[in-house]
């Protein structure tokens, strides 16, 4: 059924003028303009009401109401967390809440750490003060104590797993889609009880970094479920340890009590595209646009049986220009179980 269509002010003016055709022209024109403006405002309110009746089109304030009805809270920004190695005199103590600063100008708070009497190295648990993906740091990054600590070296080194799990607040569009998804499931199927789509939805609801998930029922035997969360905004679409921990915690709260579920990072299936483009259009801007278009085509594939068709690659490139020759890949790229497509490289010939 089509949505409400608001008539324009000029259409209303013309209709009302026609209805008042028997009146003198001077009176008819004044009345039709006045009446048309009033009716146009009423139709505007009807149009607004029509948008509020659907979580896909409603305003943000109404979206909070829809979300409350179906218990789909917007995901808050999460702070990055991890461990770092500190060194100093044996027996020295780093107190909780001690602050360090990273190379990204973000501050990190020590959760708890203490040197024992017979070692000069300790593992320090830290968490970013401000939530968001700016707090993520790779292994080996250096954090500096804002205030020098007695008996402790001035810097600590981020551990091998990095400082991860930081993510920005869920976007309104992503939240809107989750609300609509839950609305559809609740009204059509009644509830979520452990279907494949349920595990995918729960993964997206656990952390704002998760954009999808591969779900394999009975992969490790009858009743088992293996889930591979996908994070399109992360390197190689891989969930960090912090993200996996958040998804696991969420599953523990909502998955059926008898479910034997397991979590893992997906395997990487790299895609390298090799192109030759016309010299007349070979510039940095076009190369960047082509790379972005191919990346979007790859990101769109996040199913258990994804196939990246060469036709999809061509269609993506054609949004920028048709003056090119694709040298690789020459065949469709299909994933194996547990794999996710990753845009490895774009080579120019």
Q: Which of 74, 70, 113 is nearest to 95 (CA)?
A: 113
Q: Is the pLDDT of residue 266 over 50?
A: yes
Phi, psi angle pair for 120, to nearest 5°: -115, 10
> Which CATH code of 3.30.300, 3.20.20, 1.10.10, 3.30.310 fits the domain covering 192-263?
3.30.300
DSSP H stretches of helix in 218-320: 241-254, 284-299, 310-318
Q: Is the pLDDT of residue 109 over 90?
A: yes
Give the residue-averaged pLDDT of 246-250.
96
Instruction: Report percent pLDDT > 70 for the chain.
Output: 98
pTM for the predicted model, two decimal places: 0.78
Among 8-22, 72-86, 123-137, which stretch is predicted with the lowest mean pLDDT? 8-22
Q: Is the pLDDT of residue 296 over 80?
A: yes
Q: Is the pLDDT of residue 63 over 90?
A: yes
Phi, psi angle pair for 270, to nearest 5°: -70, 145
Which pLDDT value is given to residue 22? 73
Give the residue-averaged pLDDT of 125-138.
95
Q: Is 142 helix (H, G, I), strand (E, B) or coil?
A: strand
| Greater model confidence, 294 or 26 | 294
pLDDT tens-place string over residues 44-61: 889 899 899 999 999 999
pLDDT tens-place string over residues 164-215: 889 999 999 999 999 999 999 988 888 898 999 999 999 999 999 999 999 9
Q: Taking the domains of the chain in order of start, what are their residue ranges?
A: 9-53, 81-164, 192-263, 267-348
Phi, psi angle pair for 88, to nearest 5°: 175, -170
Q: Is the pLDDT of residue 28 over 80?
A: no
Query: Rounded to whole angstroms, what are the CA distances from 250 to 52, 199, 263, 276?
Result: 30, 10, 12, 47
Q: Is the pLDDT of residue 289 over 50?
A: yes
Which pLDDT value is given to residue 112? 85
Q: Is 85 helix (H, G, I), strand (E, B) or coil?
A: strand
pLDDT tens-place string over residues 301-348: 999 999 999 999 999 999 999 999 999 999 999 999 999 999 999 999
Which pLDDT value is given to residue 2? 57
Give the residue-averaged pLDDT of 210-238.
94
Q: Is the pLDDT of residue 265 over 90?
A: yes
Per-residue pLDDT band for 271 (boundaries 50, 70, 90) equals very high
Q: Is the pLDDT of residue 162 over 60?
A: yes
Per-residue pLDDT band for 1 (boundaries 50, 70, 90) equals very low
Q: Is 324 helix (H, G, I), strand (E, B) or coil?
A: strand
Q: Which of 159, 149, 150, 153 is nearest to 125 (CA)?
A: 159
Which pLDDT value is given to residue 339? 98
Ramachandran category for residue 162: left, alpha or beta (phi over 0 → left; psi -120 to 50 → alpha): left
């Amino acid at each position: 059924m089509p949505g409400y269509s608001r008539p324009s002010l000029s259409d209303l003016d013309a209709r009302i003028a026609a209805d008042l055709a028997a009146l003198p022209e001077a009176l008819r024109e004044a009345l039709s303009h006045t009446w048309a403006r009033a009716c146009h405002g009423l139709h505007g309110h009807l149009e607004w009401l029509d948008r509020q009746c659907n979580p896909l089109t409603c305003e943000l304030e109404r979206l909070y109401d829809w979300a409350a009805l179906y218990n789909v809270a917007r995901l808050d920004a999460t702070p990055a967390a991890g461990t770092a190695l500190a060194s100093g005199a044996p027996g020295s103590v780093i107190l909780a809440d001690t602050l360090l600063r990273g190379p990204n100008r973000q501050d990190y708070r020590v959760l708890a750490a203490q040197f024992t009497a017979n070692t000069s190295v300790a593992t320090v648990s830290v968490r970013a003060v401000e939530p968001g993906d700016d707090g993520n740091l790779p292994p080996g990054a250096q954090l500096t104590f804002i205030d020098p600590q007695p008996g402790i070296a001035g810097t600590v080194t981020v551990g091998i797993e990095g400082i991860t799990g930081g993510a920005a607040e869920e976007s309104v569009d992503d939240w809107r889609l989750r609300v609509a998804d839950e609305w559809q499931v609740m009204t059509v199927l009644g509830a979520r009880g452990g279907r494949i789509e349920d595990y995918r939805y729960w993964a997206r609801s656990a952390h704002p970094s998760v954009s999808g998930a591969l779900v394999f029922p009975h992969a490790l035997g009858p009743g088992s479920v293996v889930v591979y969360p996908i994070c399109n905004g992360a390197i190689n679409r891989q969930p960090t340890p912090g993200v996996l921990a958040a998804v696991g915690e969420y599953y523990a709260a909502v998955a059926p009590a008898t479910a034997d579920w397991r979590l893992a990072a997906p395997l990487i299936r790299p895609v390298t595209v090799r192109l030759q483009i016309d010299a007349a259009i070979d510039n940095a801007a076009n190369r960047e646009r082509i790379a972005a278009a191919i990346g979007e085509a790859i990101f769109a594939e996040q199913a258990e049986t994804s196939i990246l068709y060469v036709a999809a690659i061509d269609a993506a490139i054609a949004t920028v220009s048709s003056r090119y020759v694709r040298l690789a890949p020459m065949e469709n790229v299909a994933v194996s179980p547990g794999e996710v497509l990753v845009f490895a490289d774009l080579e120019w010939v």
